[in-house]
Structure 1
C-alpha cells in the first residue's frame, strides 16, 4: 500500500477539514485514483452526516501516486484535530506540501512535509505526523451514503449565513431541542420553533433558487407559495451553521418533507462547481 502526493491547493483542503472538525472529532478519508472523499457517517440516527467528493486534481498535483490491493483505493480513519494542526502548519506561503503514507513502528500514519524558504534563502522543511487507522474493505462497505427521496424544494440559504446563525442561536437559547426548517418554491425560507403554546418564527423572502437542472425536485400540484418543512435536531443544525463552511455564499438547502434536509456546499467558484466538487451535509428529519 503506497500513497504519495503533493498539494496543489492545501488551503481549500484545510478549510474542508475545518468544517468537518466542527461537527465530528474524526472522519474517514477515502482516496482513489480519481477522487478524494471526506466522510462523517454519523453515530446515531439523528446525527448529521457529511459526504464530500472532490476530484483528485482539485487538491493534488499530477504526481499523485496511490497503490493498494483494494482497487488502488485507500480508506483511512483520522482524528480531525491532529489533522488540522498538521494542515495549519502549511500556511499560505508554503512553497510545497507533500503527504505520504508511512509507519511509526507498526502504527500507520500520514506524514506531511512542508517546505519553505527563509528570508535569507535557506530551505526550511517541517514534518508533521498524524496517526491513522486503515479501514478494511469490509469496514468501508458497511458505510453507505444515505438514500433520500427526490427533494420537494431547493433554495439558496441567505448569503450572510451569520444572520441565519444568530436567529438559530436565539431560538436555541429558548431551550428548544428541535427546529422546523421550511421553504417554498417562491423563494421564502422559514425557521421556527414550537414550545408549549408558543411559536417563534423568522422568515426570509426573495431567496434565490438554483436554475436549470442543478437539483431535481418532486413533481406535484402544490402552489409556489406552499411551504415544505422538516423538523431537525437543533444541535445538529447549529453545528452545520457553525462549521466555517468553505463557501457560505453558495449553500443550497434541499427539503424532503418530513424526511430530511440536505445542504450542498459547492467548493470554489459556483460557475465551476462541477469540476471542484461538493460537500453534502445530510440532516435526518425527526418525527413530528
Structure 2
C-alpha cells in the first residue's frame, strides 16, 4: 500500500492535530484518493488495506502534531506512508530554505534524540545552492530537508467496520456559537467555581454544565450546585437556515422539522422556556473540545434536547482556493 501527498496548509494541519490531541492520544486515520479523515478513538485498536485505495491507520496524534511543528515556514512539505524495518511510518518531509553568510557549517545527517522529538525518528540533510557556490564569507542559499517518521499501525477492515459516527436524531435547535475563546474562558471559570465549592456533584464525577439554546439567536451556559447558581447568556446569534435540497421531502419536510416547532414555541424573542433545547455535559470534557478554537473557526452547535450535542467546526483553507474542512464532535448529555 502506498500514500503520498503534498501539504499546502501545514499550520492549519498542525492546529487541527493539536485540537485532536486534546481529546485523546490515538486517532483512526482513513486515507483515500480524495481525502484524509481522522477519528479520535476511545480505545487503542490494532492492524490491512481496504478496497478503493482506502488505508486505515492508528496514529499517535501528539507525535504527528510535534512533527508538523517544524514545518512552519517551510518551502514545501509532504506526507507519505512508508515502511522502515518492517514498521509502518507516516513520513513528514519538510523543505526549508535559508540564506547563510557562508561562515557556518551544518552537518548533514543530524539525528535527534527521543527527548528532543518524542517517539518519532528525525533526520536532516543540507545542501548549498544558488549564490556563492559555497565559498566562505559570501552569501548563499542553503536548502534543508527534514524528515520525521511517526510510527503507525495499519488497521484491518474488520477492526474499523465497527467504527462509525453516532446516529443522532434531527436537532431541535441549531445555532452559530459565539467566539470559542470567550466561551472557553467562561466555561473554565464556571468549572473552577464548581470545583472550589465541591458540592452538588456526583461522587467521583466532575462538574456538569448545562448548555442551552433557542431558535431566536440565544445561547446559554449555566451551572447549578447546592452552593451556587450562575449563568451566562449570549443573544443576537445566528440560527442558520436548513437547505431543503438536503432533505428528501424538501420544504414540506422542513416545515415539520423539530427546529421549526422550537422556533414557534420560543415566541418572537425566544422568551418561552419551552423553546429552549438543553443538554448537561461534563465540564472538563467540554473544555477539552473547546480547544478547537485555536483554529479560528466558525462553529454550528446542534442541540438534541436532553440527548446530546453535535458541533460542526468549519475552517477555510489558507490559500485563495482552499477548500473548507469540517470537524464533527458528538457529546452525550447526562440525564441528571
* TM-score tier (shorter): 0.7 to 0.9
Distance 1:254 1:274 in 2: 26
The residue number in structure 1 matching 2:182 is 163
| 1:89 is aligned to 2:119 | no
TM-score where L is the length of structure 2 = 0.72
Name structure 1 gaps, 5 residues minimum: 44-66
Specify which of 96, 101, 111 is matched with residue 116 of structure 1. Answer: 96
TM-score where L is the length of structure 1 = 0.83
| 1:211 is aligned to 2:241 | yes
Report how far residue 212 of structure 1 moved.
Answer: 4.7
Task: Render the CA deviation track for 1:227-280: whole Å, top value 9, x for unaligned.
Answer: 1101111111010123444233x11111000011111111117xx999422111
Structure having the larger proportion of residues in strand: 1
Equivalences for residues 114-263 of structure 1 within 5 A:
114-119=94-99, 120-159=140-179, 161-173=180-192, 174-175=194-195, 177-196=207-226, 198-213=228-243, 218=258, 219-220=260-261, 221-224=264-267, 225=270, 226-248=275-297, 250-263=298-311
Distance 1:80 1:100 in 2: 15
Structure 1 residues 163 and 129, CA gap change in structure 2 (3 angstroms): same
Native 8 Å contact 1:247 1:265 kept in 2: no
Name structure 2 gaps, 5 residues minimum: 100-139, 196-205, 247-253
Q: Which has the higher contact order (CA 8 A, sep 6+)?
A: 1
Task: Render the CA deviation track for 1:105-151: whole Å, top value 9, x for unaligned.
Answer: 12111111111222122321111010001111011111111111000
Three-state SS of the structure 2 residue aligned to 1:172 is helix
Three-state SS of the structure 1 residue aligned to 2:239 is coil
Three-state SS of the structure 2 residue aligned to 1:263 is strand
Native 8 Å contact 1:262 1:283 kept in 2: yes
Native 8 Å contact 2:218 2:237 kept in 1: yes
**CA root-mean-square deviation:** 2.4
Report how far residue 163 of structure 1 moved.
Answer: 2.1
The residue number in structure 2 matching 1:287 is 335
Three-state SS of the structure 1 residue aligned to 2:190 is helix
Structure label with greater radius of gyration? 2
Three-state SS of the structure 2 residue aligned to 1:210 is coil
Aligned length: 260
